[in-house]
Amino acid sequence: MVQIPKRIEEIVKRLQEEYTLRIFEDSDPFRVLIRTILSQRTRDENTDAASASLFARYPTARLIADAPIENIEILIKKSGFYHVKAKRVKEVSKIIHEEYDDVVPDDMKELLSLPGVGRKTANCVLVYGFHKDAIPVDVHVHRISNRIGLVDTKTPEQTEVELMKTVPRKYWLPLNDLLVQFGQTICRPIGPKHEICPIADLCDYYNNLEKE
């Protein structure tokens, strides 16, 4: 098997032929921030529905900060855990409005200081909101990176550290988007579609299956 940086280069190349990058579709940092908070522990379609409902009614940080918590809960209910998420969304919006003059910070340390914002969320804001080099590690990226054999880690945080060591920086920006789409369509948690996988020959999991 070729070295990991070369494998990454080939993996990114092949996945870019399969998927259209969505990094630049909606790059408003505030919307990216709130959407990523809503995405925690739920499916993408639920996040999309909740985000659309929330921003249709309250499109700015000030409006969300001033909105009754009960209204926010109703609008984001599809995202699950809506009592906790509504509180976080309102808190974060208030801070962005009052302390940052409605401008989301593009600094990892400041993003991590916001309520409910961990490294995945902060990295998503950097990549999708500011188009800065970072590697957001969600369930798809963590699972696929281990399945393929790019890392051997137990947590998303460990995966991020290892990927930052081995992935050439020029591939950091598109990596999350490509692996998320790949994980949704082909490299699924259960029943991965090996027969149509464009990177099967680069995958440790598949190659080990072939040997059995």
Task: Give tens-digit pLDDT for 11-28.
Answer: 999 999 999 998 877 789
For domain 29-129, give the CATH number.
1.10.340.30
Within the chain, which residue ranges are assigned CATH 1.10.340.30? 29-129
Residue 120, burial from CB neighbour count under 10 angstroms (0-12, 13-18, 19+)? buried
Going from the C-alpha of 167 to that of each of 15, 38, 83, 145, 162, the distances in angstroms are 15, 28, 38, 11, 8
Q: How far apart are CA 156 and CA 18, in angstroms?
A: 25
Is the pLDDT assigned to residue 2 strictly greater than 70?
Answer: no
Confidence of residue 193 (pLDDT cuts 50, 70, 90): very high
Is the pLDDT assigned to residue 209 strictly greater than 90?
Answer: no
Within the chain, which residue ranges are assigned CATH 1.10.1670.10? 4-22+136-211
For domain 4-22+136-211, give the CATH number.
1.10.1670.10
Looking at the chain, the whole-number percentage of residues with pLDDT higher than 70 is: 98
Q: Which of 3-12, 68-77, 159-168 has the lowest mean pLDDT?
A: 3-12
Is the pLDDT assigned to residue 212 strictly greater than 70?
Answer: no
Confidence of residue 1 (pLDDT cuts 50, 70, 90): low
**Predicted local distance difference test score (pLDDT) of residue 145:** 97
